[in-house]
Structure formats: C-alpha cells, structure tokens
Amino acid sequence: MSWTKSTLKTAIQDYIESTETSLVNNIDNFIESTEERILKNVQLDVFRKNVTGTGSSSNTYLAMPSDFLAPFSLAVIDSDSNYNFLKLKHVSFIRDYQPATATTGTPEYYAEFDQERFILAPTPSTGFTFELHYFYRPASLTAGSDSGTTWLSENAMNAMLYGSLVEACTYLKNFESIPVYEQRFQEALTSLKNLGEAKDTRDQFRYDEIRRQPQA
C-alpha cells in the first residue's frame, strides 16, 4: 500500500473534514513542507549520490548541486586517483583558519557557506577534481501525476499523512489537534529512522556518521 498524490490529498481532507477552497489549494504546500521535515530529520541511504567536478583555481567557493540537501563527504582526487577527504567544519572555523583567501594550497576543510556554495580552506591552488557524496532532495510527490508515487509516499506513509495534517491544522489554526498529529508524526519519524539509520551499527555506518558531522 502507498499514497498517490490523489489519495494522500483526499485523506488529508477526510481527516480535517474540510473541503474549503483555500485549504484544498494549499494541500500541495502541506505535503512539500512535510517532505522537507522528513528529509531533514532522517538521513536515508536511498537519497545518497555522488557527483564529480572540477573546481576553479584561486576560487575559495565550490558550487553545490541543485538538489543538494546535506553533505556526506567531500574529497579532492589527486593525479594518482587518491582520495583526500576534507574535514567538514563551520564557516567560522574556515574564516579563522584562513582570514586571507589569497593563501592557496590543497583544500583540507570545507563548510556550507550558503544554500548554493561550499567554502574551502585553503583556497585551491589549481583546478582540483572534487567528488561530493551527498544527500539529495528527491522530486516531491506534488510534482508528479495524481496517480504517481515516490519513495516517501510508499515507505513513509504515516509520516507523510500526519506531517501534512500538522501543516493543515496549523493553517486552519486548529491548535487543539496539532499535538495529537505531531506526536504521531514523531512516532513515524522514529520508525523511519530505525529503518534507515538508527539500528545500523556497522563500523562503516559509525565511521560515515562521524565524517558527515561538522567538527569543532
């Protein structure tokens, strides 16, 4: 069983017991907000991908992919095809480490500078090849046809429903119902985390979990 765009929108209206026009017109927004909450709270291997590209010499910034959600790892690939993984830091660390961007070399650190760019330190001394391993933002259920499905609508049905109901109740200012649906949403997130990450105790997982956390 899974949600299609049509069946999820119908279920939301049935739970809310409303077909009010402005509510119906905003259901896509409720679904999209819920998808964003899920993706930012649960890191699922199914939404990981790699991309390779060349940076620019003397440019301290590196563009993110358009579907970028969160970093997993970033590496410089040298001429012998060796991977040199950069350490993920906060922007403040990068600024303190390299107050003058004119200082160049092989990048050792990176941080998310804004929603479109990483900042590197030291500034690349040449056009290095980079490989970014990252969590991406998949296409929304709302972007497809009424009968279409997505991984989340097939595998995170409760999270999709109850998260959307939280958004709908917030829109309607039905504050009494929000805690009920929020609790169900959090329970669904916990189940999803158990499925995707929390119960995985392999050495690889523990190593990768450390790698993708900003280090002080």
Residue ranges per structural domain of the chain: 5-44+143-200, 47-136
Per-residue pLDDT at 214: 63
Q: Over pLDDT 70: what percentage of the chain?
A: 91
Contacts of 90 (CB under 8 A, 6+ apart): 111, 214, 216
Q: What is the largest CA-CA distance in the chain?
A: 63
Contacts (Cβ under 8 Å, ≥6 apart) of 21: none
Res. 206: pLDDT tops 60: no
**Tokens representing 71?**
């970093």
Q: Is the dihedral of CA 134, 38, 10, 154 positive or negative?
A: positive
Burial of 169 from C-beta contacts in 10 A (0-12 / 13-18 / 19+): buried
Per-residue model confidence (pLDDT) at position 40: 92
Is residue 198 predicted with pLDDT exceeding 60?
A: no
Residue 24 confidence (pLDDT) above 60: yes
The predicted model gives 30-49 an average pLDDT of 95
Give 210's pLDDT tier (boundaries 50, 70, 90): very low
3-state per-residue secondary structure call for 104-131 = EECCCEEEECCCCEEEEECEECCCCEEE
Task: Please write the tens of the pLDDT for every residue from 98-156.
Answer: 887 778 999 999 999 999 999 999 999 999 999 999 999 999 999 999 999 999 999 99
Q: Which residues contact 52 (CB under 8 A, 6 or more apart)?
A: 77, 129, 130, 131, 132
Cα atoms in the Cβ-side hemisphere of radius 13 Å centred on 55:
31
Of 154-163, 191-200, 202-211, give the range with the top mean pLDDT.
154-163
Q: Check residue 43 and give its pLDDT.
A: 86
**Model's pTM, two decimal places?**
0.81
Residue 205 has pLDDT above 50, yes or no: no
* pLDDT tens track for 67-105: 999 999 999 998 889 999 999 999 999 999 988 777 899
